[in-house]
Every structure is written in structure tokens, then in C-alpha cells.
Chain A
Amino acid sequence: MVFKWTERSSTRRTFLKGAGGLSAAALAGFPLPALAQAAEVTVISAENNANALEVLRRIAADFQKESGTKVVINNMDHEAHKTAIRNYLVAGAPDVCFWFSGNRMKAFVNRGLFDDISDLFEKEKYKDVLGANAATVTVDGKQYGLPTGGTMWGMFYRKDVFAEHGLTMPKTWDEFLAFGQKSTSAGLTPVAIGTKELWPAAGWFDQMNLRVNGLDKHLALMDGKMAYTDAALKPVFDHWEELIKLGFFTPDHTSFGWQEAGAFLAQKKAGMMNLGAFVKYAFPEKDVGQLTFAPFPIIDANLPRYEEFSLNSVHIPANAKNKAGAREFIAYFYRPENLGAYLKPAGNVPPRTDLPPSDDPLVNAAVESMKTMAGASQYYDRDTDPDMAQAGLVGFQEFMAKPERRDAILARLEGTRRRIFKI
């Protein structure tokens, strides 16, 4: 009996020791395994197109064969990545990461979290092939990333629906109003829109503002230098309200996401839709060929044509361990043949001008539009402060549902602007 007791006691003591050890470990924080040797490039991507991801992995494998440097690609969920990046750039940065050019990139550049890659720009002569697009990754004359693929925003419609009802793409505001009347009498919703995800309403605002006030004033608003109660915005909301009152938009649009709204277009229930070329994902394979792109109608004929063109980008974090390897890899990735292959599955518009024409007519239409535009904004939630963007997105959705609350909404947005930009 005595023997048994000692044995039991010792096991209990071992357990208690273990318990003590566990507490100590919990207090000290669980140790992480050591990461990455030098001859390795880690990449965090947020690619939600499976085919594009496959191409990215193939490019990485080819690079490994050519240079001997191992490339590890960690793909994250697109939305989750938007929050994760703020953590990993500070603690545990990869060597290469994907992000968005413009203001969203600038937020990290200002905090010194992205590496200056002007040397790579110089060496590879990227400025020659990027043209105006180089500006989207430039802060104070230095480059902090490479634009990968773009989305040209504009109107999309079905050729066969237009032919069936004798509709033509409106080029001016009056034509646009006439188009609305004609499609309503043909039993179509003139413009399909789903604002459940909020941003489509903001895209509509951007393009109206670019057509009414032009790029400089639009960017002043985005930078918090212009008031939301400014008289210059009145015609924008007047025109918008006119459309809402005439029943241009999908009823109960706050119940639908862009994909459901895209389905209305695909099912021939709507005349057109304002989106990027990714609207084709709402279409059955056999109908994608019907999809046609056209720029937003002109409102003020005296203004040059500005468009909304948002560019994704690839960066080297300032805390990367293998910056030399990262430069080699993104230069390899950025070769025309590799970049072209990567952009093809999602139908993104290449920022490099030296890529051969795509076999996707929507991409070619966007490239044509890009060549002739006078300048571009990126998108409401990319151009302005993220806090402002969240308030603005909600405000525009509310305006589209309750246009009579315009003054209250704008006063609220103005209050938010003053708080954020410390006016």
C-alpha cells in the first residue's frame, strides 16, 4: 500500500510540475520556430482567382529553376489579407507582398513599412514601359512598388440586348436620360446596381464627380481639402437624384451584392451596369462574349475625359529579410511574358504598355480607353482615408436609397472629414 501511495504521489507531482511549466510557457508566450534562411524568398499573396494563383506558383517554380532561390508563396483570403497586412508588415514581414497602389500604398510608405525600390526602377527602366502608371507607385519622386494589374471602371452591357431593343450606348447626359426612358418602356431596369457591399454606389459617385468637376477637384475632395458641403458637389447629387427619381437603378438595391446585380444584367433584365471587367464572373461562360465595355457618359463636354482606373501592386516590405532576392524575384515576375500570363485569368488590364494585345476584347477595350484618357482616379475607398471611405460608402448607399436625406448625409460626411483631416 505504501509503495502504491508513493507512486501515485509521484505521478501527481509530475503532473503539478507539468502544470507549473505550462503556466510558465503561457506567461512567456509560446516560442515560434525560427524562420527563413537567406536563399529563400517568401511571398504573401491575396489572389482569389485560382487560375492566377496557379500561374503565380508556376512563375515562382520557374524562377527557382533559373536562379536556385527558393520561393515560398503563402496565399491568403483577399479580405482577411487587408487586415493581416498591418500586422505582418510590422512583425514578421515576408520578402514580397501584394497590395494596392495609390493612397493605400502611401499609408504604409508614410510609416516607413515599404522598401524604396527606385534602384530597381532605374535598372530595369520601368518608367519607359509604365508611362503615367508609374505615378501610382511614386511618393516624393521615389518608387515603392510595381503596379501589377488594373481594373478599368465603366459601363458594361449586352450587345444582344441592345440590338434586340434598338438601344445605343449613350455618350452624353441627354442621351443617357433618353436611354433610361427607352429601356424602361422595354421592361428593362436601365442600370443594374447592388449596393449591399456599399462600394458600387461610391464608384458611381466617383465617375459622376469626375464628369462634373474633373480630376483635380475630385482628388482635392479625396485628400480632405474640399468640403462635402461644397457647392461644386451640388450638380453631382442633382444629376444623381434625377436618375434615382426616374427609376434608373435596381429597386431595393441594398439587398443585392454586385454578383446578384450582375445576374440581372446577364439575365437580360437590365440595360447596363457600372463595374469593372470582373462583372463577367456573373455571366455564364457562353454569354461572356456578349459583354461590351463603354466609358461613363459625358456630362460636361468642356472637361477632358478622366476615368476611374484602379491598380493593384506588388511591394517589398521594409522589414523583409531577403531584399536582394525579393528584387530579383519581382523583376522576374514583372517580365512581360510572366506578367501577361498572371493577368490573363482575371482579365486585368496590364499597366505595362509593351505587352502584346490580349485575346480578351474587354481587356483591349480597357487598354484603348486607358490610352486616350486625360488622367485617372483609383476608386473612392482607395483614394481617400480608410476611415473617411467607410463613412462615405455608407453615406452614398443611404443617398441612393433615401435621396431626400441628402443634406443630412452631406453634413454628417463633412463632420467626419473635419475630424479625420483635423480641420
Chain B
Amino acid sequence: MTNLWRRHRSWLTPTLLILPAAVLFTVVILASSIQSLWISLHDWDGFGPMVWIGLGNYRELLQDPQFYTSLKNNVIWLVMFMLAPPIGLAIALLVNQKIRGMRLMKSLFFIPLVLASVAVGVVFTWVYTPEFGLLALIFRFFGATAPAVLSDENFVTFAVVIAALWPQIAFCMVLYLAGLNNLSEDLIGAGRVDGARGWYMLRHIVLPQLTQVTFIAIAVTVVGALRSFDMISVMTRGGPFGSSSVLAYQMFEQSIFSYRFGYGAAIASVLFAIMVVFIAWYLTRIIRAEERGS
């Protein structure tokens, strides 16, 4: 036994160390993804018999106007969420100055990150409520009537994204604050000697040192935008009449409310395919960075 162990130790040890994680990953992620793909080729209500329909669900998806609405909204989420890293950086630069009271400012900007996103959703729903919400009160102060943003099919997605941006900006700010603390004083000093200041300093000396942070901020923001679900569920339930739904919410709605697990799985597969593009981009960046590092 001991001999056997000693002979095979070189490969047994790493294998056994990796095994728990590998098994969990296989069971929880890989197996369920494959099962989900398998389900998407069937007509299934979640507990009855599964009927094979091949690509029927995907064919129906291509003709479903709700699918295009959700897809369009996913794009709006993605584009608007890209505002989070620059705004987060701006706020980080602002509160990073050594002025009295900045500590308090920092923690105030940090607050939305501590709140559960469901709570943020509820608070913003109140803000948007027609007639007695905060937005309505502000408009009334100026003698105007606030639009019922959550009832308007053209505004509703933007209104929800703005609510979701609030914690996302705070998150990016924290990332940049950490990055700003690690700036090389030498480089900044050298730049100052060469006469760099203001915008020039930011553009050519500070930002290049924040590339890695920016990379993480963008990656996290993209994933955050694509998996958006909780805000929509709390604020609009995809409404009015499905106009604020996104793929993740439509998948949930089709599977849980309409009992169409096959169709829901097909939507999930499409969402997965979109995510894969970003995951591939993310992985190549990481691998390239590691190669450069070593």
C-alpha cells in the first residue's frame, strides 16, 4: 500500500486534490448544461413524459416576437451597463482625494453595494410610482407631470437599467479605488517631473496602470448585464406586456409559469451561446496576460 502510494504519488496527489472541485463542476455545471441542452430538444411540462421535437423549440423561438423583444432588451442592458466602469472610475477619482470628509463620501457611494438588489428594485419602484413617487414629486415641483416610466413600453427597460446601474457603479468604484491605491508613486513622480498634469497625467500615466482593473470591471459588468433577472422580476415582472423582459426572465417565465421547460431550456441555450462569446474573450485575455506575465 505504502509502496503503491509512493510510486504513484506524483500524479495521485494533484488528481485527488483537483477531484472534489472537478466532480462538483461536472455535476453542477457541465451535467446540468448538457441536460438543459437535451431538454431544449423536447416538449416537456416539467413532470410529464418528454416528447422529442428536435429543433422545434428553436424554430418557434425564431418566430416569437417576445424573443426579439427580450433580445433587444438584453442589448440595451449590455450597452447601458457599459456606463458603469467610466462612471465608477470618475467617482473613484473624485473620492480618492485627501480632503476632509471624503471617508464619509466613500461610504455613501459604497452603500448600494451593501443592499440586496431586490431591495434596490423595490426602492426604485417606489421612486417611479406615478402620482406619489419621488420622481412624480420632483416633476410636480417644476409644474410638470412625470411619465409613468414603468408603464411605458419604450421607457421601462431604461428605467430598470438605471436602477440596476446604481449598485453596479458602486461596484466599479470599489474596484477602481483598490486599483488607485496600488498606483506606482515613482511613475507619478517621474511624470510630474516631466510636466504631466491633469488630463495628460490621467490618460498616459494613471490609466495604463489600471488596465487590469478595467478589464475585470468590464468583464463583471458584461456578466451582470446578461444575467439581469432579479431587478426585472421585482420591478416589472417583464411588463407591461412583456416589454421589459430579457432572455433570463423569459426563460424563467416560460418554464415556471407556462410549464414549458423545453422552450425555457431553448432560451437558456441561446443565452448561453451569447455568454460563451464573452467567456471566450475573457479567457483569451487572461491566458494572454498570463503568458506575458511569465
Contacts and interface: CB of A to CB of B under 8 A. Distances in A.
B17 A16 contact: yes
A19 B148 contact: no
B286 interface: no
A13 B60 CA distance: 55
| In the complex, the 5 A-B pairs of residues with the closest C-beta atoms, listed nearest first | A398-B241, A252-B148, A254-B240, A387-B258, A23-B23
15 contacts: A16-B13, A16-B17, A19-B16, A20-B16, A23-B22, A27-B27, A197-B237, A252-B130, A252-B148, A255-B150, A387-B258, A387-B260, A397-B239, A402-B241, A419-B60
A106 to B, nearest CB: 14
A252 B27 contact: no
A255 B241 contact: no
Interface string B204-224: 000000000000000000000
B17 A401 contact: no
A390 interface: yes
B46 interface: yes
A12 B12 CA distance: 12
A90 interface: yes
Contacts of B24: 26
B67 interface: no
A198 interface: yes
Interface in B199-256: 236-237, 239-242, 253, 256
A86 interface: yes
B259 A387 contact: yes
Contacts of B237: 196-198
Contacts of A390: 253, 257-258
A251 B129 CA distance: 12
B52 to A, nearest CB: 16
Interface in B1-42: 5, 12-13, 16-17, 19-20, 22-24, 27
A386 interface: yes
Label chain B's interface by main secondary structure. helix
B141 interface: no
A26 B239 contact: no
A254 B65 CA distance: 20
A67 interface: no
Interface residues of B, number: 34
From B12, B23, B240, B260, name the one whose CB has the most chain A CB atoms within 10 angstroms.
B240
B20 A398 contact: no
Interface in B136-150: 148, 150
A65 interface: no
Interface of A: 12-13, 16, 19-20, 22-23, 26-27, 83, 86-87, 89-90, 111, 195-198, 251-256, 260, 386-387, 390-391, 394-395, 397-398, 401-402, 412, 419
A368 to B, nearest CB: 35
Contacts of B198: none
Given A20-B16, A23-B20, A397 B241 contact: yes
B19 A23 contact: yes
B81 interface: no
A13 B5 contact: yes
Interface in B146-163: 148, 150-151
B128 interface: yes
B64 to A, nearest CB: 10
Nearest to A395: B241
Contacts of A86: 46-47
B101 interface: no
Contacts of A260: 129
A23 B25 CA distance: 11
Contact of B23 (A26, A83, A394, A395): A26
A394 B259 CA distance: 16
A198 B13 contact: no
Interface in B118-133: 128-130
B195 interface: no
A252 B47 CA distance: 38
